[in-house]
């Protein structure tokens, strides 16, 4: 009965202990045995375990007895990093409530606020919890006060737990049952199930995570995906406990897995509604907003023959990462590839690594760029996602760049230094509010391009790690932008072009030329590197021709060894890209990320 079901997500700022709390909840409810337990069990991807962060939301079904009844709790552990907030909103759409977790030693941080607002907007019941109370530096009273201030409740209402020691976990389970409403759907209505995630399994094909809102679905029934209008058989149904457990049916309120044997990836769309062919629903559920990529970068196969494999890999990965978008891109320097949109730099890094690892590709990426809006002299407006697409300036009437509303939470002593940083990034203050006397929330308007790359690193170093940041797009604004081109051996290299604010162009051009001089190895001839704005050279350096490239000796004893050495060096060179006659190492294409244009 759906009366005994609770669907919720755990949301929090990064590292506040969501996955560890999920461990304790699984352990406490007997979902996993002591032997099966390991830290952050739901972080199953290699990348998640290596980096110690959650990238993908994961759901798990728990059972908990409360007042003589067995309850089914469908729990979703979500990521905390700002780049993956799309993952959080999708998870929330499958839930009726959320645990808002705050590290008692750190207090509320930017994503605490941002995720709390997401949950409130989604109309969810929020259970406030402070974590890590076992830490000597924990300040439960302050953290509870902050949470209460954000949610507008009573600090005494905030539950205190330690996901490390297990303290407070059984109270939390009871609190979940008491506070979070039962699912509201109607078992007798026609089936409506929301596809909130999916992945591609080599043997099973596409596997969908669904939340059944109304009705029920039985194994073997014919289902209809309402947006794509595709019909398939529900070959298998399962729940994650967290081990995959086959079931015969899923009912309103349930969260589970649907396997239809679909091999064609484009037939599945996250956010779609599944209904029954025999008794279809008339209206689909409200789906998801399209994700809004923040940055775009080119992804090119190192080996041009892998272009099609890269396309397939992107399609498969998109099933598991609904925020991914891309379009084909051609570069004179790098050949055929894709312009891919990302939610931020971490997302970009993760996608690239997943493509390389899970699909065995070797990729070259180009420096990320935001999308600009260009009004042409004929009044038409285009959006460009790559600096190389900027039309010639004679046909450009106006350039606009995206702005964001940035929220910074920091101890109030750092207000001055944060102001300085924001000003050097062309930002303006919008709003300031004290959460508590010690902690302040600052709201700024900033160009996205000034925030999305290294802003957070600078913010952290200026505030000794105490500030946190969240941002959301607010639209485009006219801006005095110029394109900086880079020429290698006299020829412009499309993949190196960047659009930047005029005031920073020279500094940027110089930085880029210096960085490239360090990255590009010496060649058979001198390689001049120049930065230019509209034909004017603003900076120049030269990689001097290599003078010595010969082993001192090669005698009877070393022949095989020297040969191997030279062959290995040649392998290393193969990974370089030929730009005209110049060999350019792959990391040079993201050199722009190393250029620091903040005021020093």
Ligand X SMILES: Nc1nc2c(ncn2[C@@H]2O[C@H](COP(=O)(O)OP(=O)(O)OP(=O)(O)O)[C@@H](O)[C@H]2O)c(=O)[nH]1
Residues that bind ligand X (CB under 6 A): 12, 14-20, 40, 52-54, 79-80, 131-132, 134-135, 162-164
Residue bearing tokens 């194994």: 219
In sequence order, which ranges of 152-227 are alpha helices (DSSP H)?
Answer: 169-179
The full DSSP string for 442-494 is EEEEEEHHHHTTTHHHHHHHHTTT--EEEEEEEEEEE--EEEEEEEETTEE-G
* Contacted entry of other proteins, ligand X, Mg ion, none for residue 12, CB cut-off 5 to 8 Å set by kind: ligand X
* Contacted entry of ligand X, Mg ion, other proteins, none for residue 567, CB cut-off 5 to 8 Å set by kind: other proteins
* Contacted entry of other proteins, Mg ion, ligand X, none for residue 162, CB cut-off 5 to 8 Å set by kind: ligand X
Q: Tell me the window of 13-21, 93-101, 138-146, 523-531 that interacts with Mg ion (CB under 5 A).
A: 13-21
Query: Is the CB of 162 or the CB of 479 nearer to ligand X?
Result: 162
CB 219, CB 249: distance < 8 Å: yes
Residue 24: CB minimum distance to ligand X, A: 8
Residue bearing tokens 């004179």: 332
Computed on alpha carbons and rounded to an integer, the radius of gyration of the chain in Å comes to 27
d(CA 348, CA 494): 20
Query: Is the CB of 202 or the CB of 560 nearer to other proteins?
Result: 560
Residue 166: CB minimum distance to ligand X, A: 9
Residue 25: CB minimum distance to ligand X, A: 12
Residue 553: CB minimum distance to other proteins, A: 6
d(CA 288, CA 469): 24
Is 19 an interacting residue with respect to Mg ion (CB under 5 A)?
yes
Query: Is the CB of 236 or the CB of 349 nearer to ligand X?
Result: 349
- Strands 498-501 and 481-488, by their bridges, are antiparallel
Query: Is the CB of 302 or the CB of 365 nearer to other proteins?
Result: 302
d(CA 211, CA 224): 15
Binding mask 22-61 for Mg ion (x = CB under 5 A): --------------------------------x-------
Residue 586: CB minimum distance to Mg ion, A: 31
Residue 490: CB minimum distance to other proteins, A: 17
Query: Is the CB of 95 or the CB of 579 nearer to ligand X?
Result: 95
For the chain, helix, strand, coil in percent to 5 are: 30, 35, 35
Q: Tell me the window of 17-25, 99-107, 266-274, 583-591 that interacts with Mg ion (CB under 5 A).
A: 17-25
Query: Is the CB of 266 or the CB of 567 nearer to other proteins?
Result: 567
Query: Is the CB of 80 or the CB of 298 nearer to ligand X?
Result: 80
CB 583, CB 573: distance < 8 Å: yes
Residue nearest to ligand X according to CB distances in the complex: 80
Q: What are the CA-CA distances from residue 558 to residues 549, 550, 551, 552, 553 (Å)? A: 17, 14, 11, 12, 9
* Contacted entry of other proteins, Mg ion, ligand X, none for residue 156, CB cut-off 5 to 8 Å set by kind: none
Residue bearing tokens 């992107």: 314
* Contacted entry of Mg ion, other proteins, ligand X, none for residue 164, CB cut-off 5 to 8 Å set by kind: ligand X
Residue 348: CB minimum distance to ligand X, A: 17
Q: Which helix (H) or strand (E) holds 288?
A: none
Among candidate residues 200, 241, 495, the one with its CA nearest the CA of residue 354: 200
d(CA 9, CA 310): 33
Query: Is the CB of 351 or the CB of 527 nearer to ligand X?
Result: 351
Query: Is the CB of 136 or the CB of 556 nearer to other proteins?
Result: 556
The full DSSP string for 321-343 is -TT-EEEEEEETTTEEEEEEEES
Residue bearing tokens 């080599």: 202
Q: Which parts of this chain interact with other proteins (CB under 8 A)?
A: 524-525, 546-560, 563, 566-567, 569-570, 573, 581
* Contacted entry of other proteins, Mg ion, ligand X, none for residue 91, CB cut-off 5 to 8 Å set by kind: none
Residues in contact with Mg ion by CB under 5 A are 18-19, 54
């Amino acid at each position: 009965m759906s009366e005994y079901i609770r669907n919720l997500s755990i949301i929090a700022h990064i590292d506040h202990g969501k996955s560890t709390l999920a461990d304790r909840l699984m352990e406490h409810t007997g979902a996993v045995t002591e032997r099966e337990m390991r830290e952050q069990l739901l972080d199953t991807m290699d990348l998640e375990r290596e980096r110690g962060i959650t990238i993908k939301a994961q759901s798990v079904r728990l059972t908990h007895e409360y007042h003589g009844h067995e309850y089914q709790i469908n729990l979703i552990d979500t990521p905390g990093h700002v780049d993956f907030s799309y993952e959080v909103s999708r998870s929330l759409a499958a839930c009726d409530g959320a645990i808002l977790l705050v590290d008692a030693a750190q207090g509320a941080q930017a994503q605490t606020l941002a995720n709390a607002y997401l949950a409130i907007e989604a109309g969810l019941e929020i259970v406030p919890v402070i974590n890590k109370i076992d830490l000597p530096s924990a300040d439960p009273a302050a953290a509870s006060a902050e949470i209460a201030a954000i949610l507008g409740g009573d600090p005494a209402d905030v539950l205190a737990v330690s996901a490390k020691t297990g303290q407070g976990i059984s109270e939390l389970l009871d609190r979940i049952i008491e506070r979070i409403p039962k699912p509201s759907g109607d078992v007798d209505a026609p089936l409506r199930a929301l596809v909130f995630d999916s992945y591609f399994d080599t043997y099973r094909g596409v596997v969908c995570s669904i939340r059944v809102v109304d009705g029920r679905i039985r194994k073997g029934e014919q289902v209809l995906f309402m947006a794509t209008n595709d019909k398939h058989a529900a070959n298998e149904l399962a729940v994650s406990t967290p081990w995959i457990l086959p079931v015969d049916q899923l009912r309103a309120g349930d969260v589970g897995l649907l396997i239809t044997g679909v091999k064609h990836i484009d037939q599945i769309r996250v956010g779609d509604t599944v209904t029954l062919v025999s008794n279809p629903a008339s209206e689909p559920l409200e789906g998801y907003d399209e994700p809004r990529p923040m940055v775009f970068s080119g992804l090119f196969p190192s080996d041009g023959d892998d272009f099609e494999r890269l396309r397939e890999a992107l399609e498969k990965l998109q099933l598991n990462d609904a925020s991914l978008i891309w379009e084909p891109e051609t570069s004179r320097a790098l050949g055929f590839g894709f312009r891919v949109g990302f939610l931020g730099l971490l997302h970009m890094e993760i996608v690239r690594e997943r493509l390389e690892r899970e699909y065995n590709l070797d990729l070259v990426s180009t420096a990320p760029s935001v999308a600009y809006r260009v009004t042409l002299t004929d009044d038409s407006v285009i959006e460009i996602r790559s600096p190389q697409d900027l039309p010639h300036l004679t046909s450009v009437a106006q350039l606009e760049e995206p702005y964001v509303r940035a929220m910074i939470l920091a101890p109030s002593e750092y207000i001055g230094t944060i102001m300085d940083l924001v000003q050097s990034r062309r930002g303006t203050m919008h709003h300031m509010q004290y959460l508590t006397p010690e902690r302040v929330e600052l709201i700024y308007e900033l160009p996205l391009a000034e925030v999305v790359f290294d802003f957070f690193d600078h913010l952290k170093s200026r505030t000794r790690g105490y500030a946190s940041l969240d941002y959301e797009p607010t639209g485009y604004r006219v801006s005095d932008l110029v394109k900086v081109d880079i020429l290698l051996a006299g020829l412009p290299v499309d993949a190196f072009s960047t659009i930047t604010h005029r005031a920073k162009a020279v500094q940027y051009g110089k930085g880029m030329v210096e960085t490239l001089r360090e990255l590009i190895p010496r060649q058979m001839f001198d390689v001049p590197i120049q930065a230019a704005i509209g034909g004017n050279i603003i900076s120049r350096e030269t990689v001097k021709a290599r003078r010595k490239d010969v082993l001192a000796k090669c005698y009877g004893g070393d022949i095989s060894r020297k040969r191997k050495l030279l062959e290995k060096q040649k392998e290393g060179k193969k990974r370089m890209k030929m730009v005209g006659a110049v060999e350019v190492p792959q990391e040079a294409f993201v050199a722009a990320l190393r250029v620091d244009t903040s005021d020093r």
